[in-house]
């Protein structure tokens, strides 16, 4: 598996969440994703970027264009140094939220993408990586 | 025709802007004594859980202020994504385009004026 393009940007404010959505859209288009896939990627990016700002206290997202044989994909990795998630299983449940949201961010993003990984250490931060393959 | 508010969302909204729209709309319903609100989202290429929640809130709040709400013009890719995300927009009426949306508001208003159309007589 090869990374053919790589970029990291900060996700610290609502305006930067919008910027992440726009970047994810540009990358998805340049990788040749269709309209429905683009929309899924951008929506997942929006949910995860918002989590990074609201729950993680801000962080970064890394965008990577992937080549895996004939397959091409887009990976987004969100990282923060926030309080972390105490109970990952609970956090991934539909409708569960410690904030004021609908509790669909993590579980929804997982459904919208092909691959989903999450690591979180209480007191140290959270890392969520999602990939959509074409 | 009744008094309706027509809102078209043309920009990629950050969360504060979405909240401001929600508050502003409630104030406008009161000021104009609106009987219905039509929100056209045909220009939006994404509805995430935050914007979805805002649409649901607007419909619920407007109902309490005695106004109907209809959301029009949702793009198919957005609808597909929204359902996969897990958001079904319960309680939000939708229509294919502005014209159909206006028809829906008119029908809702007529039903209201005739007292639901059933309890009369």
Mode of pairing for the β-strands spanning A71-80 and A125-133: antiparallel
pLDDT of residue B88: 86
pLDDT of residue B1: 61
Condensed to tens digits (0 to 9), the pLDDT of residues B20-48 reads 999 999 999 999 999 999 999 999 999 99
CATH topology of domain B4-117: Transcription Regulator spoIIAA (3.30.750)
pLDDT of residue B112: 81
**d(C-alpha A40, C-alpha A76), whole Å:** 13
pLDDT of residue A43: 97
pLDDT of residue A6: 96
pLDDT of residue B30: 94
Measured CA distances, A18 to A36, A53, B12, B35, B49 (Å): 19, 12, 7, 33, 14
Cβ atoms B51, A102 nearer than 8 A? no
Whether the CB of A17 is below 8 Å from some CB of chain B: the reply is yes
**d(C-alpha B5, C-alpha B3), whole Å:** 7
Q: What is the DSSP letter of B105?
A: H
CA distance B51 to chain A (A): 11
Condensed to tens digits (0 to 9), the pLDDT of residues B57-66 reads 999 999 999 9
pLDDT of residue B121: 42
Chain B residues near any Cβ of chain A (below 8 Å): 12-16, 45-50, 52-53, 75-78, 80-82, 84-87
Measured CA distances, A116 to A16, A132, B48, B54 (Å): 22, 9, 18, 27
Q: Which residue range is the domain that position A90 belongs to?
A: 2-133
Q: How far is CA B71 from the centre of its chain?
A: 4
Domain boundaries, chain B: 4-117
pLDDT of residue A108: 94
pTM above threshold 0.90? yes
ipTM: 0.91
| Number of domains chain A contains | 1
Q: How confident is the model at residue B120 (pLDDT cuts 50, 70, 90)?
A: very low
Condensed to tens digits (0 to 9), the pLDDT of residues B68-118 reads 999 999 999 999 999 999 998 888 999 999 999 999 999 988 888 887 545
pLDDT of residue B5: 96
Which residue ranges in chain A fall short of pLDDT 50? Answer: none
Whether the CB of A26 is below 8 Å from some CB of chain B: the reply is no
Residue A63 is part of a domain; what is its CATH number?
Answer: 3.30.565.10
């Amino acid at each position: 598996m090869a990374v053919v393009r790589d970029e990291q940007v900060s996700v610290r404010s609502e305006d930067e969440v919008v910027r992440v959505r726009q970047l994810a859209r540009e990358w998805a288009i340049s990788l040749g994703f269709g309209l429905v896939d683009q929309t899924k990627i951008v929506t997942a990016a929006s949910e995860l970027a918002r989590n990074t700002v609201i729950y993680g206290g801000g962080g970064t997202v890394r965008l990577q264009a992937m080549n895996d044989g004939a397959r091409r994909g887009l990976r987004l990795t969100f990282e923060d140094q926030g309080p972390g998630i105490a109970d990952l299983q609970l956090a991934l449940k539909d409708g569960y939220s410690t904030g004021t949201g609908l509790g669909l961010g993590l579980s929804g993003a997982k459904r919208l993408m092909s691959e989903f990984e999450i690591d979180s250490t209480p007191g140290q931060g959270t890392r969520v990586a999602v990939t959509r393959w074409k | 025709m009744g008094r309706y508010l027509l809102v078209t969302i043309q920009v990629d909204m950050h969360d504060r802007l979405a909240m401001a729209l929600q508050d502003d709309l409630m104030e406008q319903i009161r000021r104009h004594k609106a009987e219905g609100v039509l929100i056209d989202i045909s220009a939006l290429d994404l509805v995430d859980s935050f914007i979805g929640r805002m649409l649901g809130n607007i419909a619920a709040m407007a109902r309490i202020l005695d106004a109907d709400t209809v959301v029009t013009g949702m793009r198919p890719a957005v609808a597909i994504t929204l359902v996969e995300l897990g958001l079904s927009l319960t309680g939000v009426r939708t229509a294919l385009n502005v014209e159909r949306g206006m028809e829906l508001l008119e029908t809702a208003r007529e039903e209201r004026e005739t007292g639901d159309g059933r309890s009369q007589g």
